[in-house]
Structure 1
Amino acid sequence: MTQRASSASSPAATQPREPASTAALPPHGEGTAGDQAIQHALETAWPADLSPVDEQRLRVLGTSLLRADATGVGRARWPRLFASAEQAIAPAFATARFRVQAVIARRDGAAGRAVVHLVWAGLDRGGTYTDGRITDWYFTRATREGGPTWIPRPRT
């Protein structure tokens, strides 16, 4: 399972304004009861800077991409990202014990680029359930038949 972190060269626009107060976040293991607080903390730390339509599309795409990466479900939808034999190994997380706790999409520097920040929880193959996992997926806006769309950027 690959998690993509913001690089040092990422523009400040993709970084939170102020660190979220740990007092505002639920304790680990809170379950779904804490998800709303995590979502609120993300939205407060990174004010919206995309159109509501783009943000919603990116949130759905980022969530689907994370689910495919973590659980293996839906990898066929992303052949450019999951085509290699190396990535055909068994999924790292159980589908039944995977959930996205919070997700936002924001600009990533130049126009036409975005990052989807996800906080999620899952049960790994070793039987360890952990919440508060963080993954970032990066996208580029492209024009295709039917209009503009967001394309995930390959891992580097």
Structure 2
Amino acid sequence: MPSASATKPDAKTASPLNARTVSHLPPHGEGAPGDQAIQHALEAAWPADLPVGEERELRAAGAGLLRADATGVGREKWPRFFGDGPQVIAPAFGTARFRVQAVIARRGAASGRAVVHLVWAGADRGGVFTDGRITDLYFTRTPNKGESTWTPQPRT
């Protein structure tokens, strides 16, 4: 019979939002006014570990990539992620009721990697609105003409 400690998740597999943090989250359906509380909860759960400029760049890239994926708007900016050809899969969410509620970027497990963790809200094609959706997008640092840029990694 496993001991109680053997059944507890370790720090690597535990959810970053512990019970103390979750209690400070706004109720579902709170709307944009609750987004700041979600942002603060993410930042408290995962202390910053990237330089401010890199985190800012990754947060913007992650939000743009998620918007392109969910709504179809801006996919041409990400040809390595979506491909150069015509859009095969219709976007699942409309642009009018899509928003990123909170976003952070942190170092990945390996050097030169990062993860952008996003909490977002949107109405699907059937009109069902859901907030608190979670997406993780992974990026690697790629040399590009003397500079390094962050390149999104395809889903596996």
Say yes or no: TM over 0.5.
yes
> Max radius of gyration: which structure?
2
Structure 1 123/21 Cα, relative in aligned 2: closer, same or farther at 3 Å? Answer: same
CA–CA distance in structure 2, aligned partners of residues 120 and 66 of structure 1: 9
Q: Which amino acid aligns with 2:111?
A: A
Instruction: Tell me the TM-score normalized by structure 1.
Output: 0.86
State how 1:2-151 maps to structure 2 within 5 Å: 12=12, 16=16, 18-19=18-19, 21-83=21-83, 88-151=88-151
Which range is displaced more, 76-85 or 146-155? 76-85
Q: 1:86: how far off?
A: 9.2
Q: Any conservation in 1 of the 2:94–2:122 contact (CA below 8 Å)?
A: yes
Aligned-CA RMSD value = 2.2
- Name the counterpart of 1:152: 152
Q: Which amino acid aligns with 1:36?
A: Q
CA–CA distance in structure 1, aligned partners of residues 35 and 56 of structure 2: 18
| Identity across the alignment (%) | 66
Higher RCO, 1 or 2 (CA under 8 Å, sep at least 6)?
1
SS in 2 for 1:35: helix
Residue segments in structure 2 that go unaligned for 5+ positions in a row: 1-10
SS in 2 for 1:21: helix
Q: Any conservation in 1 of the 2:22–2:41 contact (CA below 8 Å)?
A: no
SS in 1 for 2:23: helix
Residue segments in structure 1 that go unaligned for 5+ positions in a row: 1-10
CA–CA distance in structure 2, aligned partners of residues 16 and 131 of structure 1: 18
Q: Which amino acid aligns with 1:153?
A: Q
Q: Any conservation in 2 of the 1:15–1:46 contact (CA below 8 Å)?
A: no
Structure 1 20/97 Cα, relative in aligned 2: closer, same or farther at 3 Å? Answer: farther
Structure 1 41/15 Cα, relative in aligned 2: closer, same or farther at 3 Å? Answer: same
CA–CA distance in structure 2, aligned partners of residues 70 and 20 of structure 1: 31
Q: Any conservation in 2 of the 1:13–1:108 contact (CA below 8 Å)?
A: no
